């Protein structure tokens, strides 16, 4: 059994976030000591690591909740987990495509700015909708 501070250090999840996950039911509220300190089990540690990894992959809290529900039934088919992962992959690829578009636009703006004064600045003119060189 570990304290909330120790759990935070071992998972990289901040203490307020751990409390939030308890409030919304992603992790069960742990038993408390006579001094009213939370004490987390190894299962809570594993569950929080799962949640942290899923968040690092960009999964929503609702998707994580669904995956945790699925993980509680090891004999069920994994089609739903696959669907959640595929949806996240599609969203990630869409986000990457949008970011590449932003990168290209920023490169164009920066490359076109060779002015020496703000009055002629290509970056500011492009952002104002006045185009660039």
pLDDT in tens, the chain (133 residues): 999 999 999 999 999 999 999 999 999 999 988 888 889 999 999 999 999 999 999 999 999 999 999 999 999 999 999 999 999 999 999 999 999 999 998 998 888 777 778 887 888 888 888 764 4
For residue 71, tell me if it sits in a domain: yes
Q: Is 14 left (phi over 0), alpha (psi -120 to 50) or beta?
A: beta
For residue 31, tell me if it sits in a domain: yes
Integer Cα distance of 19 and 17 in angstroms: 5
Host domain of residue 104: 4-127
Quote the tokens at residue 66: 């669904």
CATH number at residue 101: 1.10.1660.10
46-76 tens-digit pLDDT? 999 999 999 999 999 999 999 999 999 999 9
State pTM to two decimals: 0.79
């Amino acid at each position: 059994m570990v304290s909330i501070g120790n759990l935070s250090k071992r998972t990289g999840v901040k203490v307020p976030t751990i409390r939030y996950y308890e409030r919304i039911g992603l992790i069960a509220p742990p038993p408390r000591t006579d001094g009213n300190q939370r004490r987390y089990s190894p299962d809570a540690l594993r569950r929080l690591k799962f949640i942290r990894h899923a968040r690092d992959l960009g999964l929503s809290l609702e998707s994580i909740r669904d995956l945790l529900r699925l993980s509680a039934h090891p004999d069920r088919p994994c089609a739903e987990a696959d669907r959640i992962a595929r949806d996240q992959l599609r969203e990630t690829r869409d986000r990457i495509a949008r970011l590449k578009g932003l990168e290209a636009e920023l490169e164009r703006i920066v490359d076109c700015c060779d002015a020496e004064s703000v009055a002629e600045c290509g970056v500011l003119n492009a952002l104002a909708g006045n185009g660039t060189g």
